[in-house]
Structure 1
Amino acid sequence: MGWCCDVWIPLYLEHAQIGKMRSVPVLFLVAICASWVMCKPTQEKKDRVHHSKDLSDHQHDDDKDFQYDHEAFLGKEEAKTFDQLTPEESKERLGMIVDKIDSDNDTFVTTPELLAWMKRVHGRWVSEDVNKQVLLFDKNHDGSVAWDEYSNQMYGHLIGEEFNDVPDKDTYRKMMKRDERRFKHADKDGDMIATREEFTAFLHPEEFDYMKDVVVTETLEDIDKNGDGAVDVHEYIGDMYNAENDEPEPDWVQSERKQFLEFRDLNKDGKMDRTEISHWILPHDYDNADIESKHLVYESDKDKDDKLTKNEILDNWNMFVGSQATNYGEDLTRRHDEF
């Protein structure tokens, strides 16, 4: 039995690197293709900063479209479903959602209520993702995932002695050791069997305070090219931008250099240590959902009373749920009962 690439690539992406707000990490995509054909590891640029759980993969640019707002408000999968609805259907379902958000039934939606809704939506996404991966790796169906279950399925066909024709075995061994370290960190009782909560910490370490140290370690390993245990400005820029043919640096790269000097290197010693890296990738004063909830209220609050009526939300339905042309080409029939 073989696994196809479109199963394994998203799976590894979910736990290999997380967060997409700003800068860009290097990661390997592990994949096993059908009929045991190996996918070569590749490099992909992702954002390093784990402000909070990502609300959308799209850029937040309301002048271009509202896709970021849609995914922030509905969740990524439900936003796809809404993209297939007529405006009338979207408005009707939005009205039902508003009734759910108004938790105190006072006919108004406040910023805290909207924030609670979005956190629920995106918390559900994490839960559903973990459910899928527990089903994939929990071979003895005991509700937990042992390290042996995970490593055998993830790496057994990559580093096993019987598969001598697999290239880059050393790379995969290093990746497995890195995963094992994260697994041990998530496994609080040290029995190498992850409960559902521990497996969630393994897959989504940005969600758990006790996993922050391992996130910093992984970031440092990716960027620290000279092995001095810190990140200098050249390593910082090199992680997100590689100049070609002596081309001039884009303005955003120059801005990042300034950001490093003024805000990343807090003690001004020319490099970021572990504490400074933690401040960078795991800031405590930034919450995507909080900012987005305030943004939606601000854009829809016509009478500026800092709360929304159902009519104000429906009048601005396009920002919340408006249908858009998509490229998914899917027959999306999913409907959430809770909506």
Structure 2
Amino acid sequence: MTLLLSLILAICTGPGLSESSLRVRLVSGPHRCEGRVEVEQNGQWGTLCDDGWNMENVAVLCRELGCGAAKGTPRGLKYLPLPDKNQDIVNQQITCSGMEDSLAQCKLEELDYGICTHKEDSGAACDPFPFSETVRLADGPSRCEGRLEVKHQGQWGSVCKAGWNLRAAKVVCRQLGCGRALLTQAYYNRAVQGPWPIWLSWVSCSGKELTLQKCSLSPWGGSTCTHDQDTWVQCEGPFELRLEGGDHCSGRLEVLHKGLWGSVCDDDWGEKENQVVCKQLGCGKPVSRPPHAKKPFVPGVGQIWLDDVRCSGNETSLEQCRHRLWGYHDCTHKEDVAVICSGP
């Protein structure tokens, strides 16, 4: 995460939130995707001050909760029953770009004027239906690769590849919770052609949109394309990780690709990358070894999948970090990455 919440999220009636204990929820609303915003500290839930609270923040919160599109920033007072007057309040201003995966990755600043009361509690309204229910990749080898389909008026239809580019593919991959968009030749399997309509003739995206529906779209229906021109999208699938040779939270790092486990080269690997691995595995924080200590685990055999992995430390999973193309490296297994985390 960008900043440790133990240093930056101070609750006015108690100590700061710790990164490992942070949870977010919406309470007292009509469904789990709308309500008053609360965050947890050591088993105690506190409300969030609404100073600086905006739609970009709500968009991130909706994504974090697995909800659909951000719909509004209602006042927390709207939702009954009201919080207990003694309930903690987070007196911090949160500033998100709208692209983060969680509120913890946003910029968090101390308020330099007074403290909030429960009359200023934040609220959030998200669509209860996830974004992924309006976009899918069909008839491919996985949910992260296939023919692009969008839902309109309750019916799935395809998208013509006219003007399609990597920027638009990035939006789709982000919307589906997959990894990076990959350059791929347009492909369509005629054996699985169906009777569905072609909903969109063209799509134009900047690459920064949260969903495909936020891009510039042609009018729905009325396309002159044929199904031979359907758009095919390929994303990296979510990384599956494991630590071998120790226990669940320590060992030689391996990633799964194309059904085969392989190791990761330690070129440019450091503390930030360790943080992301421990976070993704739910294993706390990395435990440092002496700088010249021998690696504590036996080198792997077979495939070396990744090299030159670079993370900022903000990522929630390794798939969000930069790396060379799968299988391209200049390493031997003597350079396999090993990670030791503090534990679940």
TM-score, normalized by the shorter chain, greater than 0.5: no
Structure with greater contact order relative to length (CA < 8 Å, sep ≥ 6):
1
Q: TM-score range by the shorter chain?
A: under 0.3
Q: TM-score, normalised by structure 2?
A: 0.22
Higher helix fraction: Structure 1 or Structure 2?
A: 1
Q: TM-score, normalised by structure 1?
A: 0.22
